Amino acid sequence: MPSEATKERGGANALGWALTIGLNVVAPIITYNQLTDHGYGEFTALVISAVWPAVDLGVYLAWQRRVDEFAAVSLLFLGLTVAVTLAGPADAHFLLVKDSVITGLFGVICLASLAAPRPLMFYFGRKFATDGSAGSLERWEGLWALPGFRRVQRNLTIGWGVACLLEAGLRVGLSYALDTDAMQALNTVLSLGVTALLITWTIAYAKRARARGAAAGAEREAAVQAGAVQAEVATAEAATV
């Protein structure tokens, strides 16, 4: 049976997930759709939608005394969306391609972060795999000393980066091959579908990695115990000679 501490950590993690997704994904989308449906321009709607990640960033900074990487990235990409919208022509085709540009930029940032001391998915993992307490954050940071953990974080970052670039390229190609109405419907389905697949893959891959790590740890522990037994037997034999 799970302990009370485990249940509390699970509840805190779930709450953290809900708040993060709500303020950085759900609330901006709802705000943007409501504003554009009521006659506001795309630029105005995007700027107002950016308030939600900014609120999340401010709350997290006040609570944890450090920047929330996920909210910072969300705010950055909302800013990039505003910039791309202002820079590009006001036609339906460009608006379809615009989302692909942002997705592609995220893929580039993922792959570029591999050259940094720690890749981007390490920070996203720290956000979603911990409850935000000092102890859980310290444990997460300590995992970086393990070669297997570092490999998993880099592989996850590569997977997200490559998938986002492929999705962006596919959407740009389809926007030229399909009519606007068909692409408008496919754009949302493709974006949500790829994101859902990436999240599912991330969870499954992390679980397999933890299982392999636990098995390797058990083997090492068994080897150590076997070595200790052999040493005791050898010592006893030497004493009888």
Residue 52's pLDDT is 76
| Burial class of residue 155 (count of CB atoms within 10 Å of its CB; 0-12, 13-18, 19+) | middle
Structure confidence by residue, pLDDT tens digits, 37-86? 888 876 677 677 777 777 776 766 666 566 666 667 766 766 777 676 66
Residue 118's pLDDT is 93
Distance CA 32, CA 189 (A): 18
Distance CA 201, CA 207 (A): 10
> Is residue 144 very low, low, confident or very high in pLDDT (cuts 50, 70, 90)?
very high
- pLDDT above 70 (res 162): yes
Q: What is the dihedral of CA 114, 64, 56, 137, to 10 degrees?
A: 40
* Residues in contact with 115: Cβ distance below 8 Å, sequence separation at least 6, in sequence order: none
Distance CA 104, CA 155 (A): 18
Across 84-88, 132-136, 154-158, 171-175, the highest mean pLDDT is recorded for 154-158
- Tally the residues of the chain: 241
pTM attached to this predicted model: 0.68
Structure confidence by residue, pLDDT tens digits, 188-215? 678 778 888 998 999 899 889 888 876 6
